[in-house]
Amino acid sequence: MTSRSLHRTTLALAMGAALLMVLAACAPIPKLAEPGRPIDGDEAVARLGLEAGPAEALDAQWWKAFRDPQLDALVEQAIANSPTLALA
């Protein structure tokens, strides 16, 4: 393939891509539905069929559920080095 034919091929591809972009820009935009009114939490729970109620209590050492010694060490280090309310 010569330099001239490579130039023609590149030019043809560039013109084709430009034509496709122009045609895509002329495409009609579909009308989107109007957003509905916001719903409150109770209505959302009712629509989704969920039961509203108090949340389950979180274990004070929730990170232990991961059974990761590195995480345990990091949390223990953070607790040991964190300022207390009395210090603040």
pLDDT digit string (tens) for 2-37?
Answer: 777 778 888 888 888 888 888 887 778 888 888 888
State the DSSP code for 80: H
Q: What is the pLDDT of residues 49-60, one digit of tens each?
A: 887 667 788 889
Give pTM, 2 decimals: 0.37
Nearest-Å Rg of the Cα atoms of the chain is 31
Given a contact cutoff of 8 angstroms between Cβ atoms, the answer to whether 72 and 64 are in contact is yes
Burial of 45 by CB count in 10 Å (0-12 exposed, 13-18 middle, 19+ buried)? middle
pLDDT value at residue 85: 62
